[in-house]
Amino acid sequence: MAKVILKKASYDYEALKEQVCEVMNSLGGKEIMPRSSVVIKPNLLAPAPPDKAMLTHPLVVKATVEYVLQRGACPRISDSPAMGSFEKVLKESGIKDALGGLDVECREFKESESVNIGEPFNFIEISRDALRADVVINLPKLKTHSQMLLTLGVKNLFGCIVGLRKPEWHFRTGVDREMFAKLLVGICRVLKPSFTILDGIVALEGQGPGKGGTPRSLGVLMGSEDAFALDIVVCRMLGIEPERLLTNRVALEAGLVESALRVEGDLPGVSDFKLPEIAPLVFGPKAFHGAMRRHFVQRPASHDTLCRLCGECWKYCPAKAITHDTKRVRFDYEKCIRCYCCIEVCPHGALSAEETIPGKVIRRIMKISS
Ligand code: SF4
Ligand code: SF4
């Protein structure tokens, strides 16, 4: 039976280090062999300071590195940020400073290797460093996600898809969230991280996962050898039906996780955790889906007073659906696949997902709840 461990935690470093150590020991961290290669994969989405709660906190990363060093193994911090250089993310996140003086390598995922993740995708390219490491330690942040509801242990591993292959995959899975969830589950199944330690000490609620989200103190550190099991327990803690998170539903349907899980520690009840509005992309008869997507479904929108025309959104958009003039960005909603990558990468919190007025009205009439 998969085990998920919970600890009440804060960013007080000495206490946190002990807690990370206890969680790792209890999960079998003592089996990490001396001189083995250990890839530590935090959430390093984009440059952001710790108080924005967008990235795995630098002290959680540091405590994990110190644990690996104590085992005599060789830790390496890796990710492939969606925005900004790897160096810049390390610096702004505070991770570079936190790791000062420690014998740890920081190396961006660059090379890929083709690996079969099963139907319907078969062979896809995943970071060679992650695939070839002796041990992968997955360090997600607990965050909301405008497209997928939450980004937790399973979704964090999408960062092991290197560089521009990420938006390519968004484009290939298109508006089909379930297809994207299957992709994420396939990646997690193949990478099979040995440990997943979730930073829920200060989480991100509302319109995450980028700067549109709001930090929310939950005081929780969680660990498991099974990223699927951990994600299910997070949902329970937040009072969400686990299958509402599509990656959970796909994993449960595929028999990748047992429904009975062993939870060690007190599962805190979190009330009123603010989730993003996730409206169904299309509904009703299939013949109307095209028009519906154009006029009724939720879509990215910009807040022009916040937009600085920096260009990150249109550079990243996998559907090439964003243009701009000298005053504002513009969206082509026929091309837009509602992946919300633009919201993720916007460094100024100038984008959010918004429902259209006709969409709200129709949904109310049809009594379709998100
Ligand atoms: S919306 Fe955000 S990412 Fe896009 S140009 Fe404006 S500030 Fe930059
Ligand atoms: S406009 Fe935004 S949500 Fe639409 S496809 Fe581009 S990145 Fe994705």
**316 and 209 inside one domain:** no
User: Nearest C-alpha to atom 2 of ligand 1 is from which residue?
Assistant: 346
Is 281 domain-assigned? Answer: no
- DSSP three-state, residue 115: strand
Residue 250 lies in a domain: yes
pLDDT at 369: 47
311 plus 351 within the same structural domain: yes
Is 152 found in the same domain as 50?
yes
Kindly state whether residues 240 and 301 are assigned to the same domain.
no
Question: Quick check: 152 and 142 in contact, CB under 8 A?
Answer: yes
Distances (CA, A) of 212 to 108, 206, 208, 329, 352: 26, 8, 6, 17, 7
Per residue in 320-367, pLDDT (tens digit) is: 999 999 999 999 998 999 898 999 899 999 999 888 877 677 666 655
d(CA 311, CA 182): 30
Q: Is 352 in the pocket of ligand 1 (CB under 6 A)?
A: no
Number of domains in the chain: 2
Residue 344: which CATH number? 3.30.70.20
Residue 261 Cα to ligand 1 midpoint, Å, equals 42
Q: Evaluate whether residue 110 is within a structural domain.
A: yes
Mutate to test the pocket of ligand 2, among 164, 171, 340 (most ligand atoms within 8 A of CB): 340
pTM of the model: 0.89
- What domain range includes position 205? 3-264
Residue 326 lies in a domain: yes
Residue 38 lies in a domain: yes
131 lies in some domain: yes
- Which of 40-44, 105-109, 288-292 has the weakest average pLDDT? 288-292
Can you give the CATH number for the domain in which 248 is found? 3.40.50.11440
pLDDT in tens, 51-76: 999 999 999 999 999 999 999 999 99
Per residue in 77-107, pLDDT (tens digit) is 999 999 889 999 999 999 999 999 999 999 9
Instruction: Determine the distance separating the centroid of ligand 1 and the alpha carbon of 326, expressed in angstroms.
Output: 12
